[in-house]
Structure 1
Amino acid sequence: MSRVRIVGGHWRSRLIDVAHVPGLRPTPDRVRETLFNWLGQDLTGMTCLDLFGGTGILGFEAASRGADRVVIVESDARAHAALRQSVTALNATQVEVIRGDALRFVQTATERFDVVFLDPPYHKGWLERLEPWLDRLLKPDGWLYAEAETAIGGLAGLSTIKAGHAGLVHFHLLQGEQE
């Protein structure tokens, strides 16, 4: 089992275990630092969804920065078990780990979130499949963070506010029109 480091907040520098699952790629430290600079380091009072949990690092980073509630969805049994171990090791009572399919989750979700993290497996069309359902997940002023193999201009009626890339990772922060 490998490990990944939380880069900021209450659990800064803590390591969490990562299951050996084919295709699992933790969001690089530098990208996470950029993302949380964009969002603001303090997520106190926010609810967050990490829809393709994998390592769970985006959800744990949000919880480390004060998010009141973080839901992490993961379909792989090994990755799900590692996520649950990390919740226990960190005593992360604000983090709920759900074993399930991302598309089924968004189709049945009743809760709306301040921040939704999408870091799906590449080259499988996940963003396109999820797009019709994403508006059900976000609060009106919510943020959508998406990683992809290519740059994206918008998604589900949201506009890309900030974007960057590191290596093969294109990362985007999207939000709806503000009134």
Structure 2
Amino acid sequence: MKRDVKKTQAANGAIRIISGQWRGRKLPVMNVQGLRPTTDRNKETLFNWLMAYTQDSRCLDVFAGSGGLGFEALSRYAKHVTFIELDKNVARNLQQNLITLKATEDSAKVLCGDALSYLKQLNVEFDLLFLDPPFNQNLVPKAIEGIEQGGLLAKDGLIYIECETQNAQYNVPPQWRLLKESQTSQVTARLYQG
């Protein structure tokens, strides 16, 4: 699966880590069409929800983009974060930001390629999954299916789904229990426990 992207050679935006060991650090973000970093407000809400779960967790940032969710988890002492990103330049930027933060190879890795394909190949369970795909591509249902079929969610693991509100009528597996929800006219965010 390919997405239509317009690339520039340099990063021209930034994300901010809001808490943890790298609190206040700003990281450059590539200018790529469809890349939509999670807002600080949404990140703060999410990580308040996850306060008791992030430390020592294994995390998967499925459509990593800016990496804002994965970097925030690492800053809050997640044990390991795997980032999946389709765009090669964006994936390279993620890798460079990990180097800037002095994150070790034991704590993070970037996989460059199609997230839906990687969901079929990974054979590890994750405690936290971040699912925040590009909007208007109907990727949430396919990603949920891949996560479920791959058995990627650890017992009692958590999955965060952020999508456009008009496409928030997706189905989840019956054992997933909705814990938290936040909704605006444009974005719906939900946290489930598997």
Which position in structure 2 is the counterpart of 1:170? Answer: 188
Q: Distance in 1 between matches of 2:114 and 2:53?
A: 29
| Aligned pairs (5 A) from 1:154-165 | 155-157=172-174, 158-165=176-183
| Conserved? CA contact 1:48–1:69, under 8 Å | yes
Which position in structure 2 is the counterpart of 1:142? Answer: 157
In structure 2, list runs of 5 or more residues that go unmatched. Answer: 1-11
| Conserved? CA contact 2:140–2:170, under 8 Å | no
SS, match of residue 139 in structure 1: strand
1:122 and 2:135 matched? yes
Q: Distance in 2 between matches of 1:143 and 1:73?
A: 18
Q: Distance in 2 between matches of 1:168 and 1:147?
A: 10
Which position in structure 2 is the counterpart of 1:5? Answer: 16
Backbone CA RMSD of aligned residues: 1.5
Following superposition, the deviation at residue 164 of structure 1 comes to 0.4
TM-score scaled by length of structure 2: 0.86
- Number of matched residues? 176
| Conserved? CA contact 2:141–2:170, under 8 Å | no
| Aligned pairs (5 A) from 1:78-97 | 78-93=89-104, 94-97=107-110
* Percentage of pairs with the same residue: 40
Following superposition, the deviation at residue 168 of structure 1 comes to 1.7
Q: Distance in 2 between matches of 1:80 and 1:37?
A: 27
1:65 and 2:76 matched? yes
SS, match of residue 10 in structure 1: coil
Moved more, 145-154 or 101-110: 145-154
In structure 1, list runs of 5 or more residues that go unmatched. Answer: none
Q: Distance in 1 between matches of 2:89 and 2:146?
A: 27
